[in-house]
Amino acid sequence: MDVRELRTVTSPEYNEQRAEQLFSKAANALKESSQSTTVVKAKKELMNMIFEEMIKRVKDEQSGIIWARIKQHYNFLIEEAIENTNHKVEQLQTKLKEQLETFSKEKQGLIMKIIELEGKIEQSVKGKPINILTARAMNIKQFKELIFDMYNQKVKYDKELENNRQPVQTMEQYMYTYLNKVYGNKKYTIEKASSIIQTLKKCSDSDPDISLFGKILRNECEESFMLTFEQVKTAMENILRDKVKTKHKGKEETEIDKIVKDLQQSELNETYWNYIISKMYNKEHCNILTNIIREANSKNILYSDLQKILLEFQLSAHEEYIKKFTAIFREIDTERIGVISTGELKILLNKMKLPLNKQRIEDLIKKCDPFNSKKVTYSSCVSLFSSVRFK
């Protein structure tokens, strides 16, 4: 990260000469260092000076809070590394990256600046930094295969944790567990995580499955809603199949399968798409969806486009349903990590003003945290909230 890039997160009065001095001093210290402990201390000295400079000059108050939070994480990791002289710089960077990735998407720009700074430091030490910001995005098919497998493996992993009486992880936490298990190499794990971030930025608007995964990572929607998406897809296919069977009575099942598959790869006329939405939604929602479809198309619509519309409609309705809950959760989860304490969950439930007495609240908390870990994830809380609302 050069001086010009540093200036983008500071005031116009940022002293370029001061920044150059900081980097020059740190680079010289790093090059002269031969012991891992000395390298870590040099890194600490550099980071402390730069953080102080940035915190003083950041105009946005909330950004200043985030910088201070990052510094807190960094100092913790530094002290841990100094205590153990066998820690390698690469291990330190990996742990820091995992901490930084827990911050919200809104502050991604600030986080990337720190990652970029780490890359510069690593370059001084080894000459081969991990290039986070230039990570390549995956193609949609490849990425969807990855996120579906990640979700399915997390379901199994959550079960293992439950059997071992351990709390579950957020999807963001599990992403690193999953990538490290699949690839084994920590450096490649970080690069793959960066590739995931780049793909989310690039493809979220064009694919509802990718959009949903991004929202789950950012704790804007619960993990189990991926199952709802699959249920919508299955319902669409089953309803289409029923319509085809009615229209082509007497045909063999293999012929029906071929017709359905062909329709899924082509346009549906109004008879087909209207039949599908009428079987899935009430009259009010059907009218809304009909208007959306007709605005986007004439009378015919690709099956894939219809599926996209229905998934986005489903997600939008659900986000509206949990809007108040998510807003209150974010007020409490100031660190934006998707995890709160059971005490904070009690505050959340009280703020929701649900018709619950003290004993009912205690029972719900115990259900959400059966092993008394004193912490619960966003997804667990949303599931709890939904179960209360529907009863």
| Out of 4-8, 229-233, 278-282, 381-385, least confident range | 4-8
Using CA atoms, how far residue 119 sits from 36, 94, 134, in Å, is 17, 11, 12
Is the pLDDT confidence value at 73 over 70?
Answer: no
Of 320, 335, 351, the domain-final residue: 320
What's the structural domain count of the chain? 4
Q: What is the mean pLDDT of residues 49-65?
A: 51
Greater confidence (354 vs 284) lies with: 284
325-345: pLDDT as tens digits: 999 999 999 888 899 999 998
Beta bridge partners of 340: 376
Percent residues over pLDDT 90 in the chain: 38
Average pLDDT score over residue span 199-211: 91
Give a yes or no: residue 132 inside a domain. no
| Residue 210 in domain | no
Taking alpha carbons only, the member of 343, 321, 319, 320 closest to residue 333 is 343
- Please report, rounded to a whole number, the percentage of residues in the chain having pLDDT higher than 70: 64
Residue 363 is predicted with a pLDDT of 86
Does residue 252 lie in a domain region?
A: yes
Instruction: Tell me the three state secondary structure of residue 17.
Output: helix
CA-to-CA dists, residue 375 to 168, 273, 315, angstroms? 10, 45, 27
Inter-helix orientation angle 225-247/253-264, to 10°: 120
The answer to whether residue 272 sits within a structural domain is yes
Last residue of a domain, one of 259, 292, 320: 320
Question: Does a structural domain hold residue 261?
Answer: yes
Residues 193 and 241 grouped into a single domain = no
3-state secondary structure of 302: strand
Tell whether 27 is covered by a domain. yes
Return the closest-CA partner of residue 306 out of 259, 338, 272: 272
| Residues 74 and 146 grouped into a single domain | no
Nearest to 219 by CA among 379, 66, 98, 109: 379
Please indicate whether residue 190 or residue 283 has the higher confidence score (pLDDT): 283
Confidence of residue 96 (pLDDT cuts 50, 70, 90): low
Closest CA to 151 of 217, 83, 241: 217
Query: Are residue 147 and residue 254 in the same domain, yes or no?
Result: no
Flag whether 212 is in a domain.
no
Tokens 């009378």 locate to 299
The per-residue pLDDT for range 290-339, each reduced to its tens digit, is 999 988 776 889 999 999 999 999 999 999 999 999 999 999 998 888 99
Q: Is 252 exposed, middle or buried (0-12, 13-18, 19+ CB in 10 A)?
A: exposed
**How buried is 17 (Cβ within 10 angstroms: 0-12 exposed, 13-18 middle, 19+ buried)?**
exposed
Let me know whether 117 and 144 are in one domain: no
Determine the pLDDT at residue 44: 58
Cα distances (Å, whole numbers) of residue 196 to 137, 234, 388: 7, 27, 34
The Cα angle at residue 102 between residues 207 and 340, in degrees rounded to 5: 110
Q: Which of 145, 171, 143, 146 is nearest to 157 (CA)?
A: 171
Q: 67 is in which domain, residue-wise?
A: 3-126
What is the predicted pLDDT for the residue at 122? 46
